[in-house]
Chain A
Amino acid sequence: QQQVKQSPQSLIVQKGGISIINCAYENTAFDYFPWYQQFPGKGPALLIAIRPDVSEKKEGRFTISFNKSAKQFSLHIMDSQPGDSATYFCAANNDYKLSFGAGTTVTVRA
């Protein structure tokens, strides 16, 4: 049973547009919520992460919004670029173990 539910499975966005990926969880013991970016043939790499005492974190064009009461968090990619085309995974940490969402494949059309 997947502990972190991620949607959508895939999305296509035009260059300059906004990509939004949503994740939800049930386990209130999760204490750290990272997003990983994976390019074909590569391992996932940390993109941005947030802790539950913060409602939003922004790094460049990437923003995490976190709603603790709803047990939901999302990744926003602003001004999407073709180089952002990748698979994105949300995750949640409990006791130094990560539970991953199913992944979202983002395609940015030039």
Chain B
Amino acid sequence: DADVTQTPRNRITKTGKRIMLECSQTKGHDRMYWYRQDPGLGLRLIYYSFDVKDINKGEISDGYSVSRQAQAKFSLSLESAIPNQTALYFCATSDPRGTGEQYFGPGTRLTVT
């Protein structure tokens, strides 16, 4: 969905490096989410934010941190990347006045060597 953009789209980094994945949205939604996708595991929630001042851990937050810089921007950081964090990462948004549908960005493929 072009309304939710993620940068970079692909990234290769080394173990121990700090890396930030960025998400921007033009949908005007208050709620934003970060997921990781692994084969055979589906999508798992890392962090979510229901407004600019609200940050919540998801089911797999260890090793990650987030920053909600504005309603439209939600960044995910890996403070010290490890190979186990190699995955596809997705940002999503939803409208609290809507049906519950989440709108996903195109994803960032992260490889930690």
Contacts and interface: CB of A to CB of B under 8 A. Distances in A.
Interface of A: 2, 6, 9, 32, 34, 36, 41-46, 49, 89, 93, 96-103
* Highest count of chain B CB atoms <10 Å: which of A43, A49, A98, A102: A43
B42 to A, nearest CB: 4
Interface string B96-113: 100111111111000000
Interface of B: 1, 4, 31, 33, 35, 40-45, 48, 50, 58, 90, 92, 94, 96, 99-107
Contact of B58 (A41, A44, A97, A103): A97
A9 B41 CA distance: 10
A96 B105 contact: no
B4 to A, nearest CB: 8
Contacts of A93: 100
9 contacts: A32-B99, A41-B106, A41-B107, A43-B92, A43-B107, A49-B100, A89-B42, A98-B43, A103-B42
Contacts of B48: 97
Interface of B is mostly: strand
A97 B43 contact: no
B1 A43 contact: yes
